[in-house]
Structure 1
Amino acid sequence: LEKAKLDKDQIDAFEVNEAFAPVPLSWLKEFDVDPYKLNSHGGAIAIGHPLGATGSRLISTIMNTLSSSGKKLGLIAVCEGGGMANSAIIEMI
C-alpha cells in the first residue's frame, strides 16, 4: 500500500491466503480492516488451496469479487514457505 501510495481504506476487497484458519483472523487484527472486505467468497479452506497455484487462485478470486461487485481496487496477500510473502494490488479498469 505504501509503495502504491494508497491507504487500506481505499481498497475495496482483500484476498488473504488462508493456508490455516488463524491466518485471516491474525491478518484482520494486524491490519485493522473491515472484515466484510476480507475473503468474501471464502478463503482457501472453502475454495481450495492449490499448491503451486495459490497466487493464480487469489488473483482470479479477487478479480471475480471486484467484477461482480462493481468495485475497483483489490489486494491479495500470499504467504510462502520459508517465512516469505508477496502481495499485489489489482485495479479493475
Structure 2
Amino acid sequence: MRNAVIVSAVRTPVGKCGGALATIEAYKLGAAVVKEAIKRAKISEDLVDEVIFGNLMGHDINNIARMVALEAGLPIEKPALTIDRQCGTSLNAIALGAM
C-alpha cells in the first residue's frame, strides 16, 4: 500500500445565503478547487486516485463528488465519493483518503 499524502490545499470562498456565490452551482465551485489544487501540486490529473468530496447541508445532485471530478477534467474511471458528516466532514474525508 502506498502512503497517502496531501500535496496541496485549496478551499472555496466563504459566502452567505443569497450572496454573490448564490448563482454558482456547487459542483462548479468544487471543480475550480480541484483544478487549482492539482495545478498548485504540479501533478497530472492521472495521479489522482480518487475524489472524496465533503458537501455540507446536501445538494440537489445525488453524488456531487462525481460531478466535481468530471467538471474538473479528471478521467471518468476515477472513483468519487460524497460525504456529509456535518462538522466531521473534513476529518472523515482525510481518514477515508488515508485508507
TM-score by length of 1: 0.49
TM-score by length of 2: 0.46
- The structure that has the greater radius of gyration is 2
